[in-house]
Amino acid sequence: EAGVAQSPRYKIIEKRQSVAFWCNPISGHATLYWYQQILGQGPKLLIQFQNNGVVDDSQLPKDRFSAERLKGVDSTLKIQPAKLEDSAVYLCASSFPRGRDVAKNIQYFGAGTRLSVL
Amino acid sequence: AQSVTQPDIHITVSEGASLELRCNYSYGATPYLFWYVQSPGQGLQLLLKYFSGDTLVQGIKGFEAEFKRSQSSFNLRKPSVHWSDAAEYFCAVGGNAGKSTFGDGTTLTVKP
């Protein structure tokens, strides 16, 4: 079974530029998550999709970050314009529903995209 | 609000020695608890989870964790550490609508 695929693996941009990250979840996984992991910290949830609908985007900086999940499969996370503090690893994860209690879902993570903003 | 504290930023152990990584959580109800491992340049991999029942849970790679409600803790243990266990370890609590909150991690270094 293929895992969660993310691209690119690395990206270097200058501040005020825009950038996009792509994620392909495990086949059949309805839930998709984007996390931001700043160096020395744990992953912080940015947005969670259930199929192509947003479940939680309370920590997404909506003035500069956007995400979409067309057709409930692949997802794209965009930053426009980027700031220095956006330098981080952006992790995508997916999970398969194990019943009504979503909190029990096991998340499978991709390798992440490391973003450096200069 | 749910939160996780991992008090040890960095731990060094000798190969073959035992290991315990600490995790304290804050959550208003019975928590769902997870431990993940992250090797350099890799995503997170689930080691083990606790939902209910037996408070001692077994995971992959010889790891185990014990849930102690009275101490709000979910410490990770391994009897004998291997050099390949060097990595970063994250404790997480699962809450409402499947939202997981992660600690800031503990980096494990293994001395030969």
What tokens appear for A61 in the block? 């900086």
Q: What residues form DSSP beta bridges with B56?
A: B66
Phi and psi angles of residue B111, each rounded to the nearest 5 degrees, phi first: -85, 140
**Which is higher by pLDDT, A1 or B10?**
B10
Residues B4-26, buried b or exposed e (16+ Cβ, 10 A)?
Answer: bebeeeebebeeeeebebbbbbe
Confidence (pLDDT) at A1: 64
Query: For chain B, which ranges sit under pLDDT 50?
Result: none
Q: Looking at beta carbons, which residues of chain A come within 8 Å of B42?
A: 111
Instruction: Please report the number of interchain residue pairs, chain A to chain B, with beta-carbon separation below 8 angstroms.
Output: 60
Taking CB atoms and an 8 Å cutoff, what residues of chain B touch A102?
A: 97-98
Give the pLDDT confidence of A67-118 residue by residue, as tens digits: 999 888 999 999 999 999 999 999 999 998 766 666 677 899 999 999 999 9
Are the CB atoms for B106 and B18 separated by under 8 Å? no
Return the percentage of chain A with pLDDT > 90, whole number: 76
Q: Which of A64, A25, A30 is nearest to A46 (CA)?
A: A64
Locate the chain A residue with the closest alpha carbon to B105.
A42
Across residues A11-17, what is the average pLDDT? 97
User: Which residues in chain A are contacts of B45 at CB distance < 8 A?
Assistant: 109
Q: What's the pLDDT tens digit per position in B55-78?
A: 999 999 999 999 999 999 999 999
Determine the Cα angle at A95 with ends A94 and A101, to 5°.
140
CB contact under 8 A, A103 and B103: no
On the question of pLDDT at A3 being above 80, the answer is yes
Model confidence at A41, pLDDT cuts 50, 70, 90, reads very high
Do residues A25 and B43 lie in contact, with contact meaning Cβ atoms separated by under 8 Å?
no
Residue B40: predicted pLDDT:
86
Q: Answer whether A46's CB lies under 8 Å from A86's CB.
A: no
Interface probe for A, chosen from B3, B25, B100, B106 (most Cβ of A below 10 Å), is B100
Q: Do B32 and A104 touch (CB under 8 A)?
A: yes
Cβ–Cβ gap A48/B99 under 8 Å:
yes
| Those residues with Cβ within 8 angstroms of residue A86's Cβ, 6 or more apart along the chain or in another chain | A64, A79, A115, A117
Contacts of B99 in chain A (CB under 8 A): 45, 48, 56, 103
* Contact (Cβ atoms closer than 8 angstroms) between residue B35 and residue B45: no
Place of tokens 């450096």: A116
pLDDT of residue A96: 84
pLDDT for B9 equals 96
- Rg over CA atoms, chain A: 14
Per the CB < 8 Å rule, is A103 touching B32? yes
